[in-house]
Structure 1
Amino acid sequence: MEYKVRIIGDPILRKKAKKVEKIDEKFQELLNNMTNVMYKEDGVGLAAPQIGINKRFFIMDDGKKLRKIINPEIIEFLGDEVVYEEGCLSIPGVFINVKRPEGIKVKYFDENGNEIEEELHDYTARIFQHEYDHLEGVLFVDKVSTAAKAKYKGKLNELMKEGRKIAKELGEVVIE
């Protein structure tokens, strides 16, 4: 199956994703397909809701390591909040400064079902937080001031119309 990246305005991007119950061969194949989509779209992360799947998993590549993250939890926020420009495959052409904690302590399962607990910092922590937000139905534009968003108001409205249209065509992809 070929997956298409959903655009802001698609209702699935605003749903809280459900827990993954089973990590099997079919699910691992989905993770590999998703990885291909992320690289094809030139992204550093891609969450399941972004391809129409309402489940708690995402992939990310900080340039050092590809991670396949299943049922993640952020246990603790670490360090100071730092501002850094973010973009999103679901909001193409929009780049805005976002304030996030510099580090996080996380727990998740990898693609083999192993539980991982680790501390992430800087760019890696930022990608994780951005993708985790997708699982909560939150987009990075929700984390910036109205004034910061105002610069992109026309573009965001345009994208939201397109996102709603695509959503009607594609619907939600259901995986068990």
Structure 2
Amino acid sequence: MKFLTQNAIETEKFGRVVGQLVQPGSLILLNGDLGAGKTTFTKGLAQSLGIERAIKSPTFTLIREYRQGRLPLFHMDLYRLEHSSADDLGLEEYFDSAGVCVVEWSQFGEDVLPADRLVIDIQRDLPGFAADTRQFTLRAAGSKSQQLLEKITTAWSDQ
């Protein structure tokens, strides 16, 4: 599935749509360069989970935990693991929990990520489009994430 958002407000709205559909144990991998909108998307997702705390990029903390919503949200940024391993961090505890895991820069933790996942690639700087336009490409691996993708496709097309 591919689609465009025209600005940060629409990117956040898309996050809210996804957040309404996630289930305990959902794993979402966000790929995109700096400034692509990964944290903006996560803000929307957190809003739909009922999380009222400000959502900040976990770049310097590795993991930010938000436990007060409909489901716990574990927002991870694995960028700092570029030259090391995620093996000893205990991330499996988060992935095996009843929460939702959103992982930025997931390529640096591939060795510990579960196979069932929803991958969202966010591209900016699209030729012929305004600077705030983002292209989202979604793909699923695993049956749970495939069902989530189908629900997202239906819900977003109804917007």
TM-score by length of 2: 0.31
**CA radius of gyration, larger in:** 1
Greater per-residue strand proportion: 1
